[in-house]
Amino acid sequence: MNETLLLDTDVASFLFKNSPHAKPFRPLIKGKRLALAFVSVAELFKWTLKRRWGPRKTEQLETALHRYVVIPYDRDLAWAWAGVVATCEDAGKPIAPSDAWVAAAALRHDVVLATNNLKHFDAAESLCGLKLLRAQPA
């Protein structure tokens, strides 16, 4: 099976919108099994509501999401989240709850995280062993 790569919400959004920001990620994700954390799916759904997308564009997003494996909540993921949050807080480097869920999903399943928001995950990388994919700017 191909290597699994977890995409942060920003990268999934770039790909969906065919944004120029997706360009540096395209060669890095080619041939990979792509995954999203459940929280990323929720964030993408929130954007459809906040931006008042119509049914057609919302359906396009729903269809695009079929290409991803979605990592669901489970007890071990909750413990991984608690570990990430507690470790980062104890070091004086708090992490946003949604970012902590994404980091926990990557750690729980021992996969690399592709994100354009490296600063959001610096503490989890240095303190928890999160593996980040660093794309070169376009």
The pLDDT of residue 1 is: 47
Helix, strand or coil for residue 125? helix
> The tokens 């919302």 sit on which residue?
58
Going residue by residue through the chain, which has 138 residues, state the pLDDT in tens, using 9 for 90 and above. Answer: 479 999 999 999 999 999 999 999 999 999 999 999 999 999 999 999 999 999 999 999 999 999 999 999 999 999 999 999 999 999 999 999 999 999 999 999 999 999 999 999 999 999 999 999 988 765
Res 134: pLDDT? 86
What pLDDT score does 16 carry? 96
pLDDT of residue 138: 58
What is the rounded CA–CA span in Å between residue 119 and residue 57? 30
| Strand order, beta sheet including 69-71 | 69-71, 33-37, 4-7, 112-114, 132-133
C-alpha closest to that of 25 among 15, 33, 34, 16? 15
pTM of the model: 0.94
- Whole-number Å distance between alpha carbons of 30 and 102: 21
3-state secondary structure of 69: strand
The reported pLDDT for the residue numbered 30 is 94
